[in-house]
Homo-oligomer: A and B are copies of this chain.
Amino acid sequence: VVIFSEITQKDIAKVCKVSRETVTKALQDHPKIARETKARIQAMAEKMGYIPNYYARNLASKKNKTIGIIVPKISHSFHSSVVELIYKYAENHGYNVLPMISFEERRNEIRNIETLMSMRVDGIIANISQETSDNKYFHQLKQRGVPLVFFDRMIESDMISHVATEDRKATCEIVSYGLSKGYSKPAHLAGYSNINIGRERRNGFLDALNKFNIKPNPDWIIEGGFSEELRYENARRLLSLKNRPDLVFCFNDSIAHSVYNAAEESGINIPGELGVIGYGNLALARLIRPKLSTVDLPVDDIARETVRLLLRQIDSPARNNVEHVVLKPDVIIRESCR
């Protein structure tokens, strides 16, 4: 049986011989409706397969209990994990969540913002695309009074809450560890410096060099290139330099993995001739040999704090409560530099 026409409260009202409004109230378990009437109406609604119209309800009530998440990708374990956790935490607080993907393109990100605005979501959580280099559109959100929290990738701002990690410090720590093990020619396969995480990790790297009185060699710092091909190409380029570095700090573990491949190709031994350090502690870090030293991000804390900051803004919209949470990542020493 195909039910062609949509069943509305009006239909139920007609069958139950009450007014439309009574149906509304019975369905929301309103205290002022007679128990018997309520039961009758609810049973009938169930029987008729009534499902409330989300749009009509939200339009009339002006409540939606919905938050949006914008991420550049979900097919990466960090992103999918955080999105899943945010989804879970937000749902536990009674919110629907709408995940949107920007595919690392600013154009899509803007479209996502607009879609979520048009949906009048109660708040937005965002992790910016690689192409994003200002907060123009996100600031508009704030101007309209839409609660907003950044996590991970962001353009830092006094106006916008965020949950970040101490990347600079963790990087300095792990690179210092490497340098303390006797490596003296450090290179960096870097992230984009327009985005906080690229910049922080780069600065942490430079901090460590500074601590060891090593002058950074510009030839040994290569920015960008995250596709499999580009990662490999950058690694090869680095390793085929006639003045070759003996330690590589990589912006993320995938890049580190490409360095492994390029090193194997060139017959360079890790960690003997080349130390390698990653970032992110992907599953692969424990699987590749030698096991990769890297930095572990507190995924669960990031998700939980992000939701907490957002709900706080939603619950007390009057106060302009911008909060910046900075979480501590874990340095994980394995076998790839010693």
A: which residues have CB within 8 A of B?
1-4, 6, 49, 51-59, 73-77, 79-81, 83-84, 87-88, 96, 98-99, 101, 103, 114-115, 117-120, 140, 143-145, 283-284, 287-289
Among B59, B73, B103, B114, contact of A59 (Cβ-Cβ < 8 Å): B59
20 further A-B contacts with Cβ under 8 Å, apart from A3-B145, A53-B118, are A1-B143, A3-B144, A49-B140, A51-B117, A51-B118, A54-B115, A54-B119, A54-B120, A55-B59, A55-B120, A56-B59, A74-B74, A75-B80, A75-B81, A76-B80, A77-B80, A79-B80, A84-B101, A88-B101, A283-B284
B contact residues around A140 at 8 Å (CB) = 49
Residue of B nearest to A69 (CB): B99
B contact residues around A119 at 8 Å (CB) = 54-55
A54 touches B118 (CB 8 A): yes
B contact residues around A289 at 8 Å (CB) = 289
> Which are the 5 A-B pairs with shortest beta-carbon distances?
A80-B80, A287-B287, A54-B118, A55-B55, A55-B59
B contact residues around A101 at 8 Å (CB) = 84, 87-88
* Contacts A/B (CB < 8 Å), 28 sampled: A1-B143, A2-B143, A3-B145, A51-B117, A51-B118, A53-B118, A54-B55, A54-B118, A54-B119, A55-B58, A56-B59, A59-B59, A73-B84, A74-B74, A74-B80, A75-B77, A75-B80, A75-B81, A76-B80, A80-B80, A84-B101, A87-B101, A88-B103, A96-B115, A99-B99, A283-B283, A284-B284, A287-B287
The CA of A98 and the CA of B98, in the complex, are separated in Å by 6
The CA of A33 and the CA of B333, in the complex, are separated in Å by 68
A143 touches B74 (CB 8 A): no
Minimum C-beta distance from A193 to chain B (A): 27
B59 touches A143 (CB 8 A): no
Residue of B nearest to A285 (CB): B287
B contact residues around A145 at 8 Å (CB) = 2-4
Minimum C-beta distance from A270 to chain B (A): 15
Residue of B nearest to A1 (CB): B143
Among B59, B83, B98, B287, contact of A53 (Cβ-Cβ < 8 Å): B59
B contact residues around A103 at 8 Å (CB) = 88
Minimum C-beta distance from A87 to chain B (A): 6
Residue of B nearest to A283 (CB): B284
B contact residues around A114 at 8 Å (CB) = 51
Minimum C-beta distance from A53 to chain B (A): 7
Residue of B nearest to A84 (CB): B75
B contact residues around A55 at 8 Å (CB) = 54-56, 58-59, 119-120
